Amino acid sequence: MRIGRTLPPAAAPIKLADIISGVRGLVRGEREIRRFEAELTADFNVNHCFLLSSGKAALTIVLKALHRQNPHKNEVIIPAYTCYSVPSAICRAGLKIRLCDIDPATLDFDFNCLEEVLSDKASAVSENRVLAVIPTHLFGVPSDVKRTREITAEHGVLMIEDAAQAMGGELQGQRLGTFGDAGFFSLGRGKAFSTVEGGIILTDNSILAKQIQGAIDNIPDYRLFEILKLFVYSVALNVFMHPAFFWLPKSLPFLKLGETVFEISFPLKKMSSLQAGLARNWQVRLKQLAHARRHGSRLLRAALEINETDEKKKGYKLFQQLEEQETLLRFPVRIVNDELLRQIVLKGNQKGLGIMRGYPDAIHRIDALKEYFKNTSYPGAVHVARTLITLPVHVFVSLGNFKEIMALMINPRQS
């Protein structure tokens, strides 16, 4: 167990001033929630915004609303490697998961595969049962949502943009989260911006917005005890997210930090005024956090690109850039040599560098879902699950930390 300065893999700090704003928001009540909604609507230049208890709650509500509009459609196409919250939300909404393999070089859809899935005459697609396609900006890496949008439009399928990990990012001058029929963000711990937990839905579709509002009207608010828990959690994050103290919660196994779990019993709630209050001054804070992550990403890419060409010696591959000014949540790298991967993760953990594996496996290999994907193969997703690690780029990563991370990546046996 490491005792001492330890970097979290991702961090969006909650400061004391933010907690005070949260308490004031709690006093203001509904006005605080409306204020946050209005700011988001104006800043992202969309017609409708909705606030929920989590990103997966937001996705679940969108899917329920879409299904209410299109009751004969019940299938949702997602990448075969993505955050487990995405398939869990689909199941929570009572819908069926369809998988599309990914391109390991981009972490995006394999677009040839996407065309095949949407044109599969042997499946329910021929019966026009696909409700939506969900491209994902995994770790903040911009997905080619314009290309996905073109493909889905050709097939008359809606697109929900998973920007859960990409709030504050852009693609060709347009804000991520605004390309689809609907988009959503997560405000959970370790996301681009945090209110302890929370979710945001954006849409310009007024008919869909009406259905979303109807679905939200039927879910509960946070209870007083639950709001108190959020407050206590915000205070804990204020202290223990800092590298000087992060080693303590990381060392406690019952907290299960970094553990990825597939579950469909998560709550659906409206965002509380405490969370809306915690988001006060979010535009300035989000820009500051994004600036730090862009700077960190540029440092890592510049150093690692120089050595990437000697793959046999270095053993890693970087993802292809779609957007030069990338605003990553975590910097993903594929370690193509199994022994080097083991060494980098082990030594990174020993040094407290915040280096972490990606999601543990492809979606079709999740125990609770295996039976639905028998005799299927998604080699790109399996390869990424086996080889991917992420490097921290957040505001707590010092120049000295970056130098240690670069040295470990370039010469893992000597670090």
pLDDT at 97 over 50: yes
CB 332 within 8 A of CB 390: yes
Is the confidence at residue 324, as pLDDT, over 80? no
- Residues whose CB falls within 8 Å of the CB of residue 354, separated by 6 or more in sequence, listed in order: 6, 7, 8, 9, 348, 391, 392, 397, 401
- Between the alpha carbon of residue 261 and those of residues 162, 264, 265, 380, the distances in Å are 19, 10, 11, 21
Enter the pTM of the model: 0.95
CATH architecture classification, 283-410: Alpha-Beta Complex (3.90)
Round to whole Å and give the CA distance between 355 and 7. 8
Structural class in CATH, domain 16-217: alpha beta
Catalytic machinery residues? 191
Q: For the residues of 333-391, what is the DSSP string, one character each?
A: EEE-SHHHHHHHHHHHHHHT---EE--SS-GGGSTTTGGGGTT---HHHHHHHHHEEEE
* Confidence at residue 149, expressed as pLDDT on a 0 to 100 scale: 97
Mean pLDDT of the chain: 93
DSSP state of 247: H
- Enumerate the CATH 3.90.1150.10 domain ranges in the chain, comma separated: 283-410
Asked if residue 127 has pLDDT above 70, the reply is no
Tokens standing for residue 364? 């079709």
What is the per-residue pLDDT for 312? Answer: 52
Which stretch of 40-54, 115-129, 203-217 has the lowest confidence by average pLDDT?
A: 115-129
**pLDDT range class, residue 326, cuts 50, 70, 90:** confident
In tens, the pLDDT along 380-411 reads 999 999 999 999 999 999 999 999 999 999 88
What pLDDT does 313 receive?
52
CB of 171 within 8 A of CB of 145?
A: yes
* The pLDDT of residue 321: 80
- Alpha-carbon distances, residue 377 vs 86, 113, 382 (angstroms): 19, 12, 9
Segment 40-61 mean pLDDT: 99
What pLDDT was estimated at residue 141? 96
Q: Please give the average per-residue pLDDT across 100-106, as a whole number.
A: 97
Predicted local confidence at residue 221, as pLDDT: 98
Q: pLDDT band for position 164 (50/70/90)?
A: very high
Confidence (pLDDT) at 323? 66
Q: How confident is the model at residue 310 (pLDDT cuts 50, 70, 90)?
A: low
pLDDT at 255: 61
The arithmetic mean of pLDDT across residues 18-30, rounded, is 98
411 contact partners, CB below 8 Å, separation of at least 6: none
Residue 43 or residue 410, greater confidence: 43
Q: By percentage, how much of the chain surpasses pLDDT 90?
A: 84
* The pLDDT value given to residue 412: 82
Confidence bin at 122 (pLDDT 50/70/90)? very low
Exposure class string for 276-300: b at 16+ Cβ within 10 A, else e = bbbbbebeebbeebbebbbebbebb
200-238 tens-digit pLDDT: 999 999 999 999 999 999 999 999 999 999 999 999 999
- Name the least confident of 108-122, 184-198, 292-306: 108-122
**pLDDT range class, residue 314, cuts 50, 70, 90:** low
- Residue range(s) in the chain whose domain bears CATH number 3.40.640.10: 16-217
Residue 125 confidence (pLDDT) above 60: no
Please provide residue 349's backbone torsions phi and psi, each rounded to the nearest 5 degrees. Answer: -70, -40
Burial bucket for residue 188 (CB in 10 Å: 0-12, 13-18, 19+): buried
